[in-house]
Structure 1
Amino acid sequence: MIHHIVFDMGNVLVDYRPMEYTQRFFSDPAEATLVCRELFDGPEWPLLDEGKIEPEVALAQVCGRLPKNLQERAKELFHHWFDQLTIIPETNELGQRLKQKGYSLYILSNAAYSFHQYAHKIPLFPLLNGYIVSADEKLVKPNGAIYQLLCKRYQLEPEECFFIDDRAENVEAARQCGMYAYQYQSDVQALYSALQRAGVNI
């Protein structure tokens, strides 16, 4: 029986649209493409999620690959991209509904230390029973150890967890750990149906 609902964050509870964030700082399409590639798609970004590089070191390396005239705005983007985050209301409302039904709620997210600067913006955050953020733990999905850590820290049985993520490899890893898991693709009605099939009372 399911007692715990575990949410990913990006593209599940909040939209993650790096090019949109970049375009708000760089109106020139060529500049935006360059900066987005070097920042959000650069080698430092996953290291930030893993907690293996300090933010200022990552930023210096990114700026080192950019023309001088773009560096100041790139720094502003790095420090403020999450101010542009938009909430996905349907999934946050679903979480609130599940909480009212007595389910415990968790976030399991690949995210940098900056998570702690914007987590309060997520409507579901005050309702959480706990969360695991990859940078804090030096572990990232789909490494099975991060799912095991969630269960160990909060004394959860994997078979009592329903995990929701937008990436197929993360969903498969959750299943390998014994959780029910669902790949969310912006269709909240399909998610409702999957929860109901798993025996979740909505």
Structure 2
Amino acid sequence: MIKNIVFDMGNVLLDYNPDVCLNYFLDNEDDKALIKKILFNGQEWIDADRGLLTDEDIYERVKDQIPERLHPALKNCATRWHMCMKPVNGAKEFCEYVKENGYHLYVLSNASTSFYDYFPEFAPLSYFDGIVVSCDIHIIKPERGIYEYLLNQYQLIAEECFFIDDRPENIEGARQIGMNGAVFYGDFQKIKELLLQITDKII
């Protein structure tokens, strides 16, 4: 029986869309593409999720890879990118609905230390029964260890967990250790229907 709903954060609870800040700080499409490649799609971004760098560190690491004229925009994007992190449509309502139906709620996110600055605008950390952020434990999805950490930290049984993530490889990682799950494509109604198929709770 499913007792725990485990949420990814980006593009499940909050809308992670770097284009929002790129469009805000830059006008030229080539400049946007360059910063997107160097900043948001670079190894440094992954290192920040692993807790090895801060957002400020990322800027210092990558600034020499782009023209100096773009440094102000790059710094703004590196340190203010979470301006895009607005609640996904229906996310708050879904969280409240499953909570009212007796499920425990957890967050399992690949995120840098700035998670703790912007995430409370979605809900207080105490709203969830547990939160695991990759930067704190230096393990990122879909590595097996991050799922095992969640289960061990909160004494959860894998088969009683349903994981919702927007990336198929992260769902597969959860399934490898016995968790249920589904890829989120923006429709919480479909998630409710999937839960209904595998649980005796009324959703």
* 1:52 Cα deviation after fit: 2.2
User: Retained in 2: the 8 A contact 1:120–1:126?
Assistant: no
Q: Report the secondary structure of 1:105's partner residue.
A: strand
CA, structure 1 residues 55+16, in 2 after alignment: closer, same or farther (shift >3 Å)? closer
The residue type paired with residue 157 of structure 1 is I
Match of 1:117 in 2: 117
The residue type paired with residue 152 of structure 2 is K
- State the distance in 1 between where 2:159 and 2:43 align: 35
Gaps of 5+ in 1: none
- State the distance in 1 between where 2:187 and 2:87 align: 15
The residue type paired with residue 92 of structure 1 is K
Per-residue CA deviation, residues 45-97 of structure 1 (Å, 9 max, x unaligned), is: 11111112344332112111111111012111211111232211312211111
* 1:168 Cα deviation after fit: 0.7
- State the distance in 1 between where 2:77 and 2:54 align: 17
The residue type paired with residue 88 of structure 1 is V
- State the distance in 2 between where 1:183 and 1:21 align: 26
Answer with 127-136 or 115-124: which moved more: 115-124
Match of 1:65 in 2: 65
How many residues of Structure 1 are paired with residues of Structure 2 in the alignment?
Answer: 202
Is 1:165 paired with 2:165? Answer: yes
TM-score (norm 2): 0.94
| Percent identity over paired residues | 37
CA, structure 1 residues 96+124, in 2 after alignment: closer, same or farther (shift >3 Å)? farther
User: Retained in 2: the 8 A contact 1:95–1:124?
Assistant: no
Match of 2:14 in 1: 14
CA, structure 1 residues 54+10, in 2 after alignment: closer, same or farther (shift >3 Å)? closer
Structure 1 stretches (4+) deviating beyond 4 angstroms?
Answer: none
* 1:195 Cα deviation after fit: 1.0
Per-residue CA deviation, residues 149-200 of structure 1 (Å, 9 max, x unaligned), is: 1011111111111110111111011111111111111122211111111214
Gaps of 5+ in 2: none
User: Retained in 2: the 8 A contact 1:3–1:104?
Assistant: yes
Match of 1:174 in 2: 174
